[in-house]
Structure 1
Amino acid sequence: MTNYTLESMRRTPAGYAWSRFGEPEYTTWFDENIAWKKTCYIGDWSFLWQHRITGPDALRLISEHTVNTVKGFRIGQSKHAIHTNSDGKIIHEGVLTKFGEDDYLVHGRGGFWLRFNAERGGYNATVAQENWFILQVSGPLSIKLLHKLDPRDGLLETGYMHVSPIRIAGHDIWALRQGMSGELGFELQGPIELKDDVYAALWDAGQEFGIRRMGGRGAPINHLEAGYPTIATEYIPAIFDNPDYLEYFMSSMPKFALPAYIAGSFGGDSIEDYYRTPVELGWARMISGDHEFPGREALLAEKENPRRVLRSLEWNSDDVADILSSFVLDENHYTYMELPRDQRGFMWADRVERDGRVLGVSTSRGFSYWFRKTLSLATIDVDAAEPGSQLEVVWGNPGDPEKRVPVTVHPSPYKAPHAKDSLLDAVQ
């Protein structure tokens, strides 16, 4: 097994992480950025992993390894399930749906953690990997597109973070009311063999509504605008202090799913400096004290008295322009800044400072064409997190010239999310 160290994770990865979305661009990344605000888009997230959890102890397995409560967990309901280590640092997180009594499906890396614990014994539960597609259809006109394809009323009655059946191209699949752009939208889910038929039907019907395909260059910007922290981008999964699980995890994953790579001006002393807790990433509301799980006491204490919180940072445009112009004007230029953001799968972590004091870490730096702003997410000290506060981000890889960029603190999400209310008005 590869020996992952902090130094090895600062090397450039061989592949481009966002190539999992298909083409880098289908029209242009700024055209695709506008589509999720004005019309609708289709994004292919079928590279995620699914595990079905069944058996009499399925719910106990989930509960004992997840910070979320499972009390009142209804059939058809989904949760943003978060798994932590004994220190309360995030191992994995993803979407968990209850499809029936003792029948659950988890999307994302968390299925590997649950399977690992199930196989260690003590649970009358089976965790088996499945292969589903996930197609995000989001944007203000997305509900009109889906209602055109299936005009039954059930879809319009779907609550936020709930699934409803939908029929597309003659196939019965699932529609989860949730979207990573913060806009109105659904994730369509079903067995992978149905994907091509469903995609073609969505694309053909979507022409009327100005649909766009979401490419790899634009996709991470909707996470940034909508304040959705992402594994290996906002945090390193806390798997390196558990050698048994690390070996199990890496042996189960395809080659492009390496844990993370690190870049930027923040110089952590150990991999643990890049771990994060749910509180730091804005997920404190998910933490429930009504059951036992790893890191429970630490997280409940942090929830009551947080040290750092998630914010959006708006970078000064003149200073960003100075960084960009240095590539063609200065021999000793600043660290390269790609637009709309780096594609190589780094956790690009930069220091956030005020008067030379480190207050936190900036991640996911990217350019929003919609807002014409350079933005980043940041976990910063509570006493520096008041919206409107003026701070600095230090841009530059170790050994490169450093550029101090003034930034303004904003709430996260930067872009106000779509109201999670009735869908009926959206089809009028």
Structure 2
Amino acid sequence: MNDPRPYRAFSENAPQIEFPPQINRLEFTGWMDEQLSWKNTCYIGDWTFVPQIRVKGPDALQLFKDLSVNSFENFPLHRAKHCVQVNEDGKVISEGILFRHDEDDFEYQCGTPQWLRYNIATKGYDVETSFPLSHKLQVSGPTSLALLEKLTATGLRDVKFMAHKRVPLADHDTTFLRQGMAGEIGFEIHGPIQQHDEIWNAVYEAGKEFGIRRLGRRNLMINHMEASYPTGCIHFFNALADDSKAEFRKWVDENPLPDGWRGTAMEAWPYSISTSYTGSWDGDDIREIYRSPVEMGWAANIKFDHDFIGRAALEEEVANPRRKVVTLEFNSDDLIAMYATLFGQGDVIRPFEIPHAPYAMVWVDKILNADGETVGHATFPGYSLHFRKALALSFIDVAYAEPGTEVTVLWGNPGEAQTKLRATVATAPYKQDDRRRDLSAEPALSV
């Protein structure tokens, strides 16, 4: 059954899930102070809740080739890549970070690892799996490089984007992955879960000299929004909820979580990271809020040098893209008028939550053209203090994707009071992308 209604948030059947408590507090020094950190200094954030699966064996490489849109012709050891897996229609099932530790040794960190586990179990791949639990501490922002080099007494300027390096930290051997989810220079620090607290404290204490802030749950998706990182369960519904994946869900029901995933976010979403949705979208098929890597801006990841699930659909879409990711800027006067309904007479419009909603749920509002026709979907909205704007990563028909195009967003759930918010199309990423900057040219930082 492809009926989306059982997934409507705040209904009896779809419990909306709060952002994982492993992140710790909603706020540490206040969401406004924390939100400016990746513009002015740096932050430490915790993504330890993301599960992982390690795959070793003769068929490990072939497994990822069969499931992934990415090329593996040039994937050297000690590198990582944004790995994307889709269904037969080219819609994203799973996406995350794939490490290559050795020729036949891979580690995949993503929100929907059950899809990989299911394919390993049902298709006869000659591999061994394990389910390590590691810390994943994100340090990003203009002062992050100076902080981490001073703390570790290790040069990091030779680390290319999406490369990783073994680095000693607080008497532990850790892995530094150069990434940058805020669109700034950044690293993720990985290692056994047992050393989580010690590593966190060492970075935070050393970081005080560099203006470090701790990233609370209230800001978790703001940097994803500004830097254009569409995220499953937030900006799109992972393609695992429709009839075509009934056998997958049955298999998950019959096979308990491995011990390495117990106590993680996997217990909250055993099938998929996507569990509920909200917004003005009122379609009758859950597949309408699936997304392809093309419309999410990941077309460069797709390589047709191998066969993989969904290849034919993506070949057609790459040649004739329908939609494109953009950032919508909401009209500030319209938002002020929305808040005014809370204190006046008549219908109360569901208010825009600042800086963003506290739940890990897909947000889907209809984007309308001047004739009232639906031309796309606006997703999980948020407020950027730096830009003084309410923004939303959005997927819009290519005819309306030019920056400066005026559209409206239908705001409010079906059956509730609704309004139309004026919006302007802007680029995605909205913030300048500095994460690939050449670190060898970075000046030493004085503090």
Given the two structures, how large is their TM-score scaled by the length of structure 2? Answer: 0.92
The one of 268, 271, 274 aligned to 1:259: 274
The one of 236, 242, 246 aligned to 2:249: 246
- Structure 1 residues 265 and 384, CA, compared in 2 at 3 Å: closer, same or farther? same
Counterpart in the other structure of 1:232: 233
Quote how far apart the aligned CAs of 1:137 are: 0.3
CA-to-aligned-CA distance 1:249-275 (integer Å, 9 cap, x gap) = 465431256532111111121111111
Matches within 5 A, 1:88-99: 88-99=90-101
Residue 287 of structure 1 contacts residue 300 of structure 1 at CA under 8 Å; is this kept in 2?
no
Given the two structures, how large is their TM-score scaled by the length of structure 1? Answer: 0.96
Counterpart in the other structure of 2:375: 359
Counterpart in the other structure of 1:41: 43
Residue 20 of structure 1 contacts residue 216 of structure 1 at CA under 8 Å; is this kept in 2?
no
In 1, Cα distance between equivalents of 2:234 and 2:17: 15
- Structure 1 residues 134 and 65, CA, compared in 2 at 3 Å: closer, same or farther? same
The alignment status of 1:401 with 2:399, answered yes or no, reads: no
In 2, Cα distance between equivalents of 1:255 and 1:362: 26
Counterpart in the other structure of 2:6: 8
CA-to-aligned-CA distance 1:94-138 (integer Å, 9 cap, x gap) = 000101121111111353222211111332112221101100000
Counterpart in the other structure of 1:70: 72
Matches within 5 A, 1:194-233: 194-233=195-234
CA-to-aligned-CA distance 1:3-24 (integer Å, 9 cap, x gap) = 9952221132254135442111
In 2, Cα distance between equivalents of 1:324 and 1:233: 24
Gaps of 5+ in 1: none
Counterpart in the other structure of 1:313: 328
- Structure 1 residues 210 and 276, CA, compared in 2 at 3 Å: closer, same or farther? same
Q: Letter of the aligned partner of 2:18 in structure 1?
A: Y
- Structure 1 residues 44 and 289, CA, compared in 2 at 3 Å: closer, same or farther? same
In 2, Cα distance between equivalents of 1:19 and 1:309: 33
In 2, Cα distance between equivalents of 1:426 and 1:274: 45
What secondary structure does 2:65 align onto?
helix
Residue 18 of structure 1 contacts residue 343 of structure 1 at CA under 8 Å; is this kept in 2?
no
- Structure 1 residues 426 and 314, CA, compared in 2 at 3 Å: closer, same or farther? farther
Residue 80 of structure 1 contacts residue 93 of structure 1 at CA under 8 Å; is this kept in 2?
yes
What secondary structure does 1:228 align onto?
coil
Residue 38 of structure 2 contacts residue 182 of structure 2 at CA under 8 Å; is this kept in 1?
yes
Counterpart in the other structure of 1:344: 359
Residue 18 of structure 1 contacts residue 344 of structure 1 at CA under 8 Å; is this kept in 2?
no
Counterpart in the other structure of 1:53: 55
Counterpart in the other structure of 2:177: 176
In 2, Cα distance between equivalents of 1:226 and 1:296: 27
Residue 4 of structure 2 contacts residue 285 of structure 2 at CA under 8 Å; is this kept in 1?
yes
- Structure 1 residues 14 and 286, CA, compared in 2 at 3 Å: closer, same or farther? closer
In 2, Cα distance between equivalents of 1:262 and 1:194: 36
Quote how far apart the aligned CAs of 1:196 are: 1.1
The alignment status of 1:423 with 2:425, answered yes or no, reads: no
What secondary structure does 2:70 align onto?
coil
Quote how far apart the aligned CAs of 1:325 are: 2.0
In 2, Cα distance between equivalents of 1:316 and 1:19: 33
Quote how far apart the aligned CAs of 1:405 are: 1.0
Residue 279 of structure 2 contacts residue 413 of structure 2 at CA under 8 Å; is this kept in 1?
yes
Quote how far apart the aligned CAs of 1:174 are: 0.5
Gaps of 5+ in 2: 258-265
Counterpart in the other structure of 1:139: 141
- Mean CA deviation greater in 113-122 or 28-37: 113-122
Quote how far apart the aligned CAs of 1:300 are: 1.4
- Structure 1 residues 360 and 423, CA, compared in 2 at 3 Å: closer, same or farther? same
The alignment status of 1:333 with 2:319, answered yes or no, reads: no
Counterpart in the other structure of 1:369: 385
The one of 387, 398, 405 aligned to 2:403: 387
Matches within 5 A, 1:77-116: 77-116=79-118
Q: Letter of the aligned partner of 2:438 in structure 1?
A: S
What secondary structure does 2:32 align onto?
helix
What secondary structure does 1:394 align onto?
strand
- Mean CA deviation greater in 320-329 or 227-236: 320-329
Q: Letter of the aligned partner of 1:427 in structure 2?
A: A
- Structure 1 residues 9 and 370, CA, compared in 2 at 3 Å: closer, same or farther? same
What secondary structure does 2:36 align onto?
helix
How many residues matched? 425
Q: Letter of the aligned partner of 1:247 in structure 2?
A: K
Residue 87 of structure 2 contacts residue 310 of structure 2 at CA under 8 Å; is this kept in 1?
yes
CA-to-aligned-CA distance 1:375-416 (integer Å, 9 cap, x gap) = 001110000001111111111111222211111111100101
Residue 164 of structure 2 contacts residue 177 of structure 2 at CA under 8 Å; is this kept in 1?
yes
Q: Percent identity?
A: 38
CA-to-aligned-CA distance 1:218-245 (integer Å, 9 cap, x gap) = 1111111111101011111111221121
In 2, Cα distance between equivalents of 1:190 and 1:57: 26
